């Protein structure tokens, strides 16, 4: 955990160095981030439901 901040430095430097380019596409980045977040949440929920149903099915046997 002590080196965790060091892991974020390269990405922060990359974002800062490309800030002018990112200003032109920030709305697309926000939309993509929101859509993919909900997509991942939905797929994770579905997979969790399948795993729970599979475990319940094994316990009944």
The CA-atom distances, in angstroms, between 51 and each of 12, 42, 61 are 37, 14, 16
Q: Which residue has the tokens 């160095």?
A: 17
pLDDT at res. 11: 87
The number of domains in the chain is: 1
Global model pTM greater than 0.75: no
pLDDT at res. 61: 60
pLDDT at res. 36: 98
Residues of the chain with confidence (pLDDT) below 70 = 61
- Tell me the residue length of the chain: 61
Q: Give the domain range for residue 15.
A: 4-60
pLDDT at res. 50: 95
């Amino acid at each position: 955990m002590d080196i965790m901040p060091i892991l974020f430095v390269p990405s922060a430097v990359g974002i800062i160095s490309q800030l002018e380019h990112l200003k032109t596409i920030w709305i697309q980045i926000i939309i993509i981030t929101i859509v993919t977040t909900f997509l991942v949440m939905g797929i994770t929920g579905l997979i969790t439901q399948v795993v729970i149903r599979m475990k319940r099915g094994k316990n009944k046997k």
